[in-house]
């Protein structure tokens, strides 16, 4: 049960930013439902031992920027779904109108235009993985504020 790794945005094992050399080797993962925090923590510790705290800190700073970007995209998608799908349904229910199957088919098409279920799920898994890594890093900094860094 290892967390899944993929390319930003959301596919592959490594991703490359051709215009930004400092971001070229950022590896993102997904925290699938079967992945526990312990698995991510073990991977984090292995990465810290392999890279050292200095390089890991740089990676985590870049991951934090990616996390903020993904969270804003996720919020935007959820707001669109709420505005275009949930609120009209609530309005129709309040008014006591009957909602035929074609109504639901149209709402499903609107939701698919906003983002497919797989895209939304993989984005959510990535956000969870990045948040877990940021939490682990915060815990390390809390208990060990003096950086013991490998060059």
How far is the C-alpha of 136 from the C-alpha of 47, rounded, in Å? 12
pLDDT for 7: 37
Within a domain: 97: yes
- Please report which confidence band the pLDDT of residue 11 belongs to, taking 50, 70 and 90 as the band edges: very low
pLDDT at 132 over 80: yes
Give 144's pLDDT tier (boundaries 50, 70, 90): low
Question: Mean of the pLDDT values across residues 41-59?
Answer: 89
Residue 9 belongs to a domain: yes
- Give domain status of residue 148, yes or no: no
What's the whole-number mean pLDDT along residues 125-145? 85
Domain that holds residue 72: 4-143
Q: Hey, what are 121's tokens? A: 């799920």
150 domain residue, yes or no: no
What total number of domains does the chain contain? 1
What's the Rg (C-alpha) of the chain?
20
Q: Phi and psi (nearest 5°) for 4?
A: -85, 140
For residue 151, being part of any structural domain is answered with: no
| 27, 13 contact by CB (below 8 A) | yes
């Amino acid at each position: 049960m290892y967390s899944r790794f993929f390319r930003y945005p959301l596919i592959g094992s490594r991703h490359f930013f051709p215009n930004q050399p400092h971001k070229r080797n950022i590896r993102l993962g997904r925290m699938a439902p079967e992945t526990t925090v312990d698995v991510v923590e073990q991977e984090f510790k292995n990465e810290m031992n392999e890279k050292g705290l200095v390089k890991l800190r740089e990676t985590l700073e870049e991951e934090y920027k990616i996390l903020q970007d993904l969270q804003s995209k996720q919020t935007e998608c959820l707001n669109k779904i709420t505005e275009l799908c949930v609120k009209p349904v609530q309005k129709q229910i309040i008014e006591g109108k009957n909602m035929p199957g074609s109504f639901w088919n149209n709402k499903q098409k609107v939701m698919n235009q906003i983002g497919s279920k797989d895209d939304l799920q993989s984005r959510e898994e990535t956000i969870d993985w990045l948040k877990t890594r940021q939490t682990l890093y915060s815990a390390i900094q809390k208990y060990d504020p003096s950086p013991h860094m490998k060059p």
